A and B are shown apart, each in its own frame.
Chain A
Amino acid sequence: MTELLIPSGMPQYADAPRFDVAKVRADFPILDRTINGHPLVYLDSANTSQKPRQVIDALNAHLAEHNANVSRSVHTLGTESTAAYEGARAKVAAFIGAQSADEVVFTKNSTEALNLLAYAFSNATATGGDPRFVLREGDEIVISEMEHHSNIVPWQMLCERTGATLRWFGVTDEGRLDVSNLDELVNERTKLVSIAHMSNTLGTVNSISVIRQRAHQVGALIALDASQSVPHLPVDVTAMDVDFIAFTGHKMLGPTGIGVLWGRSELLHAMPPVLGGGSMIETVTLTKTTYAAPPARFEAGTPPIAEAVALGAAVDYLSALGMDAVQWHEKELTAYALDALCGIEGVRIFGPNVPVGRGGTISFALDGVHPHDVGQILDDLGVEVRVGHHCARPICQRYGVAAMTRASFYIYTTTDEIDAMVRGLEQVKKVFG
Chain B
Amino acid sequence: MQFDQLYQEIILDHYKRPHGRGLRDPFNGSAHQVNPTCGDEIDIRVQLEDGVLADVSYDGAGCSISQASASVLFDLVEGRKVDDAMARFEAFSALVGGRGAAEPDEELLEDGVAFAGVAKYPARVKCALLPWMALKAALVEAAAADGQVVGATDGGTK
Chain A contacts to B: CB under 8 angstroms: 36, 370-373, 376-377, 380, 387-389, 393, 396, 402-403, 431-432
Contact = CB atoms under 8 A, between A and B. Distances in A.
B61 interface: yes
A380 B39 contact: no
B38 A389 contact: yes
B39 A388 contact: yes
Nearest to A401: B39
Most buried by A among B12, B37, B41, B124: B37
B62 interface: yes
Interface of B: 1-3, 6-7, 12, 37-41, 61-65, 67, 121, 124, 127
B3 A380 contact: yes
Which DSSP category, helix, strand, loop or mixed, fits chain A's interface?
Answer: helix
A36 B121 CA distance: 13
Contact of B12 (A371, A389, A432): A432
Contact of B38 (A36, A388, A431, A432): A388
Contacts of B127: 372
Contact of A380 (B2, B38, B124): B2
B40 A402 contact: yes
5 contacts: A371-B38, A372-B124, A402-B39, A402-B41, A403-B39
B64 A389 contact: no
B3 A431 contact: yes
A370 B41 contact: no
B38 A376 contact: no
A432 B67 CA distance: 14
A351 B37 CA distance: 22
B41 to A, nearest CB: 7
B78 to A, nearest CB: 25
A150 to B, nearest CB: 15
A163 B63 CA distance: 40
Contact of A370 (B2, B12, B37, B63): B63
A389 B61 CA distance: 14
A36 B37 CA distance: 24
B61 A376 contact: no
Given A373-B63, A388-B38, 11 more contacts: A36-B2, A370-B67, A372-B64, A372-B127, A373-B7, A373-B65, A380-B3, A402-B39, A402-B61, A403-B40, A432-B64
